[in-house]
Structure 1
């Protein structure tokens, strides 16, 4: 390989770094695992060969889903012909679940209406503003009835940051509808204006590169050779979250912790209001769901701040209201010390169950309060079935009441 400086634009075009493709695939698979593994996603790659390698990498990282859904991730390029067209049609259908991920190079930049597409992924540099608008236009359609209220641009090349910062970006949509009205002003016909493919001259991405390896001693007739690097190590070294303002014109880079604090304060102005709703398991689930809709996954957040043992409630209060951090173990121990009056109401057998619930919480979190699921795992299933365990409290209603009160006291402490 010639001794030269290779930039992002050269990757997969002049120098093919297999490790880079694998790193992108791992990060994307991780992102979807934290958000929605069935969120329809388009990955824009450098060329058809790169799209194939990306498809293979993503399939290998999602073998559990590919086993049940062979078309979970598909390549759609000109090489696929009618097969690719069929994959594209199913992807566009709002009623079909798969394919979920399409990898492509140029084929899906224009003329594809995918209203439920939630992730637009840039694995190649986009050189022109018209093409960039066409690409992100794949995700701008909203379908509230299918839970599509926003979409993500996941950029591994710096293209989106550069384009949104460009004064030439005016935020106008690339999809336009035309309405025909009658003399009374009533709409009698609506149709989408066909998108015009951008001029190829708008995409200064260098000469075409032939698919597959090229002999090192032969420049070939189609341009410079493409070098393949199988070794080396590539890793994601920085993850930035940009938020587009309400006008759709400016990006603001936010630390995940600051972003989370702002969103929590938007939902709850103070910690006491958050605590009130957090004590209710159903409301707590709603809070978690609303945060996930804003791109905040509590498990990932705890890992990001280096506090995986912290209770999510304490973490949110710390980020939003600067409250002190407590681990789950500290909360559990404090309840045992300060709520002996509550615990002494139960006999030894029932107290054994509550102590085990607290231990499960300290180790794994508030999901351990879910009844009757928790009673089907050790050590609870060693004490009998659900009915037998409930009998220690005087019945199922009393058991559920005791665990609910335990949760309330845990978060009151």
Structure 2
């Protein structure tokens, strides 16, 4: 068989791989076949998901493992030599390499647009003319501006424990770019990587290479949450072993090389509390600042002194959300990001979970509320006469019925999907979180009775709740299920299995919004977590439409007189508290464990509603009804934009995709052994029965059947209530076929249907419930029809009369 009959894989095996080996490339250490540059985007509809086809580069040529130089895209002999070139160039751009190569087994087309190896942009080569590793590595170093003195640093291998774990392509690019920049002498660097993309693992690998090459010998890793430091020490940084320590308030050891610390552990208001001054200014030669958009971004921060003190060290900032305001700037301090991997890129590549948004509009939120003249709250306090709107609720005014309505909607959603899915409820402040927890507990008595930790308030002031945070984020721990919080869980909480994020908080900070959304973006295939839902009560998800959500931050920082724009190597204005870190700081302590402090009960780092120094005025009103005006489901489209669909529109589209006409649906309904099976099928597609039936009930004045919700909303047919259907069935001639005990059973079943719907009468366990249990035992009742099979046929006949005409 000639080349024309061979598959692409055969071409690789018989021609391309041997040519690569002949050029001097080590197949085991320098050649990566089928290298992943995408796991395939996850697409969500209803409650189902599917993945797009993963993208793989046929060959990635590396100087050494994880240091790519070139990409080869292979095609079969039926294609031209250049057919795979554009694909190879796209992969080369993603992998940050200068050389793209295409082959069909007859030779190579070598793209070298920078003239690093060849004199022309594209050169045709025979199979035995492929350049070897030293030639391409030399060209790569020229392209990156790396001289011979940088080689010990840039050629230092990545950490490899033999487990097969390796950096993903974007982590590899981030690490290589950072190491190369430091090797060239750059001392202020910023890495922007979306939440869930592995910033800490990336930090470990780049620190490992700098440490092992002895370019950086004493390193300080700073975070602003105790849990972040502990997770880092016991997790990604574990290979540093005995060379690593955690700085505490108790003592300072100077015999280590890798130091992990909270900002709070090394700073304080008093000079003697500033432990970092026990180190000489030149002690550390590398400082890595985690979540640098928070504690280290403000010019006037109390934490800024750390970076000023160790000004001679290289500073690397890590963030998912670079902060750019007129007062605060990451970019002003660190310079433009050396690498950015955004949420959109992560979702496109299939490394991050996409989201579905359910926007819930409450009547009082949209219309506002004004008290009657002289109206008082539950404490007898006269309510200030003005219009209260959504921004007032749970800050200046608590409408208890609003909290109940939100809690009911959350509870209903969990009941319809999975009551055990990990959920974070973001509230306006601590007081709001307390109210919300109470309402959720009261609405979930069975779950709470099973385990009182089903719902926990995890806020900065609640030590019992905070102690459960590790259990909440542990995929193997079932409890707590619902975490009610305000600010404490906005960042640094690796909740991989979180499937539901509830937003009942006025979010005005884009940084905070992106951090909150990041709580759900991790994928955990082992626990069937591929996407997550955002249940939004405060219009927060409108921020998705803001270009700044996943775009480049606009530089608007205005330096003060005492903070002139200095060259990046000398300027130092990036420490301290930010407006979205009200739970992040702590007072110095002699304990080894630095604890996060209580957050402001007013939320968001704001002053009390009455102003500085005044008592807060928070009215509590419990007799104002609150209802849901509308819901709409939004999905993430291929372009990263949310596609909005009203609940009824989505239901119409979903049902008609299965049953194009009313007759199709009626036929399926009539033929189904159990009506519940049809309901379950549609529920799997995201049809929300309770909301749909509530919509129809508004017009009917009484509870409809799910059947009527479908035929009315989807097929524009008149709807009946369950009681109307029960009355029609009882008036049919069907009941004349039965007497005595059997007739009494059917009468009781029809009453059960009117009260609770068709599902209950399809289950034989209904015979154990009152009033049927007073008519006889289940065996006796079935025997009244002639046996179990005859009883089941009688129930099917009853259902047919219920849904007749």
Normalising to structure 2: TM-score of the pair? 0.41
Aligned ranges for residues 205-216 of structure 1 at < 5 Å?
Answer: 211=601
Matched, 1:240 2:240: no
Question: What's the counterpart of residue 189 of structure 1?
Answer: none
Mapped contact 2:427–2:505 kept (Cα < 8 A):
yes
Is 1:158 aligned to 2:539, yes or no?
A: yes
Equivalence for 1:33: 412
Partner of 2:662: 271
Change (3 A) 1:354 1:78: closer
- What's the offset of the Cα at 1:320? 0.9
Structure of greater Rg: 2
- Which residue of structure 2 lines up, in the alignment, with residue 91 of structure 1? 472
Give the SS at the match of 2:493: coil
Alpha-carbon distance, 1:386 to partner: 1.4
CA distance in 1, matches of 2:629, 2:422: 22
Give the Cα–Cα distance (whole angstroms) in 2 for the partners of residues 232 and 356 of structure 1.
39
Larger strand percent: 2
- 1:372 aligned residue: 764
1:313 to 707, 718, 738: 707
1:125–1:346 CA distance, 2 compared to 1 (3 A): closer
Cα 1:328–1:229, aligned 2, differ >3 Å: closer, same or farther?
closer
Residue among 63, 66, 72 paired with 2:454: 72
Aligned ranges 1:50-61 → 2 under 5 Å: 50-61=432-443
* Counterpart Cα distance in 2 of 1:71 and 1:46: 22
Aligned to 2:227: none
Residue correspondences, number = 375
Q: Which residue matches 2:504?
A: 123
Shift in Å, 1:349: 4.2
Aligned mates of 2:736, 2:386 — CA distance in 1: 74
Are 2:425 and 1:43 aligned? yes
Partner of 1:24: 403
**SS, match of residue 321 in structure 1:** coil
Offset of residue 257 of structure 1: 3.0
**Which of residues 131, 136, 160 is equivalent to 2:517?**
136
* Aligned match of 1:167: 547
How many Å apart are 1:353 and its aligned residue? Answer: 2.9
User: After alignment, is 99-108 or 147-156 more displaced?
Assistant: 147-156
Question: When the two structures are superposed, what TM-score results if normalisation uses the length of structure 1?
Answer: 0.75
Q: Could you tell me how far apart the structure 2 residues matched to 1:293 and 1:282 are?
A: 18
Contact 1:126 1:203 in 2 (8 A): no
Tell me, in whole angstroms, the C-alpha distance in 1 between the residues paired with 2:608 and 2:641.
47
Give the Cα separation in 2 of the matches to 1:166 and 1:218. Answer: 31
Change (3 A) 1:367 1:286: closer
Cα deviation, 1:215-246, whole Å, max 9, x if unaligned, reads 999943xxx64322234655435443233234
SS state at 1:109 partner: coil
- In the alignment, what sits opposite 1:395? 787
Alignment deviations for residues 57-77 of structure 1 (CA, whole Å, 9 cap, x no partner): 433444453343222222223
Kindly tell me: are residues 398 and 61 of structure 1, through their superposed partners in 2, closer, same or farther at Cα, counting changes over 3 Å? Answer: closer
Deviations 1:252-282 (A, max 9, x none): 251x333322222123212223223323556
Query: How large is the RMSD of aligned CA atoms in angstroms?
Result: 3.9
Could you tell me which runs of 5 or more consecutive residues in structure 2 were left unpaired when the two chains were aligned: 1-382, 553-574, 583-597
Q: Alignment partner for residue 257 of structure 1, among 648, 652, 659?
A: 648
* Partner Cα separation in structure 2 for residue 369 and residue 27 of structure 1: 31
**What is the DSSP-based 3-state SS (H/G/I as helix, E as strand, rest coil) of the residue aligned with 2:549?**
coil
How far residue 108 of structure 1 moved from its aligned partner, in angstroms, is 1.1
For 2:630 and 2:577, the matched residues in 1 are separated by: 31
